[in-house]
Structure 1
């Protein structure tokens, strides 16, 4: 599975600073924003489709779901994230300016920093989608509320539906620089000896010594770089490409079972590995 099969250290002994196992009937407003980068589009296009069932948070792409932005069609997203920031309408200030074609704020969104650590550890337990055209992803992205240059990303995982198999799955992980000139984009395609449509846990640890990403307790990728500023966690289900012809193909779904996070400015785990 990569990185010499090293095992992650156990998580910190103290209780997580951020935790949700989605056992209450409503998404917690003190934990999550249920919109995908709402400042770059309109509320009806950014709003997530989801429900909570016995397995946790079920992200959905529905047959009538609009494209995230008309310019990006065909692309539909249901996403939850641990905060949001934007400048005024018409400005270029806002979290995750991931596009180079001039994203402009269309919906001014009040700043909300629900969980935005500058270093630490996060564990995300998910079941990926196997529905045509879908991708499940989890990212830590620079909030950019302090500086436009604080825009790097830790890509914990990106799992395409067609890359999920019964005994083997593929996923992408690593660091993306975006607009941060201090980082270098470094992505890897990992081969996982598991069916990613079943519950499995990803872990990311980041701090001054670098970034480590792993799956099911095994290190997948190590890097001697890390964003050194506040990051929001984003968990996204995408449908990329044309809609399915059959309405019975919907909803397209993926599950988020549990999220745990620890804040740490002096995180020792990157040194241990």
Structure 2
């Protein structure tokens, strides 16, 4: 199945996206994304009055969109995550193999990180928790003449995978529009930036994955209100499933 969104409408498509970050682990006021749409696509925001995702994680604020959810998805913290807001299971686009292109402009705002992840749903087996980290870009790593990003595989609770993360340097200013790509399946995972391969991994999760696109503010809020909103942009998402 093909998946294409250039965010050219007047609202986010609810048949494609959930505009909450892992809402089952917290409350709706804390998980809800702050965003707007314009001629450049989707602008994710961290606003001055935005609450922390969970009180236990403070300071940590996030605006995220994702293509599915399950009450148990992404048990990524070791401190006893519990379901606070049951949401049921919604699987909007959850491929188990395929390819993805996502065009973004990363943030240069203090304390921010833009990320794209493919994360196991865990609705059929709690081991189905592995993650393909397409990229994580810290604002502090974005420069006019180049950017450093983290990419790779995170095993989480899947003992069939091993965590294999690496840092890569790309010769672009990632705050300008650019495209990251990933192809994954039985032969492994290949990640590219602007058409150039930046990572090859001999493993890939082999179960349904949720696409998550996130803007985080990690650390204490900036004291000056004029620093907000802190933003990043998702211009376009284009993907193709290789398996039903």
Instruction: Map 1:1-273; keep pairs closer than 5 Å.
Output: 17-86=2-71, 94-265=72-243
- Structure 1 CA distance, aligned partners of 2:243 and 2:38? 35
- Structure 2 CA distance, aligned partners of 1:138 and 1:147? 23
TM (normalized to structure 1)?
Answer: 0.88
* SS of residue in 2 equivalent to 1:67: coil
- Structure 1 regions of 5+ residues with no counterpart? 1-15, 87-93, 267-273
- Structure 2 CA distance, aligned partners of 1:139 and 1:29? 19
- Structure 2 CA distance, aligned partners of 1:52 and 1:45? 21
- Structure 1 CA distance, aligned partners of 2:150 and 2:37? 27
- Structure 1 CA distance, aligned partners of 2:201 and 2:220? 36
TM (normalized to structure 2)?
Answer: 0.99
TM-fit CA distance, 1:265 = 3.0
* SS of residue in 1 equivalent to 2:108: coil
- Structure 1 CA distance, aligned partners of 2:243 and 2:42? 29
Give me the CA root mean square deviation: 0.9
Higher normalized strand content (fraction of residues): 2
- Write out the 4+ residue segments of structure 1 that deviate beyond 2 Å after TM superposition: none
Mean CA deviation greater in 16-25 or 251-260: 16-25
Mean CA deviation greater in 98-107 or 252-261: 98-107
Count residues with an aligned counterpart: 244
- Structure 1 CA distance, aligned partners of 2:75 and 2:9? 33
- Structure 2 CA distance, aligned partners of 1:53 and 1:161? 22
- Structure 2 CA distance, aligned partners of 1:180 and 1:99? 14
Which entry has the higher C-alpha Rg, 1 or 2?
1
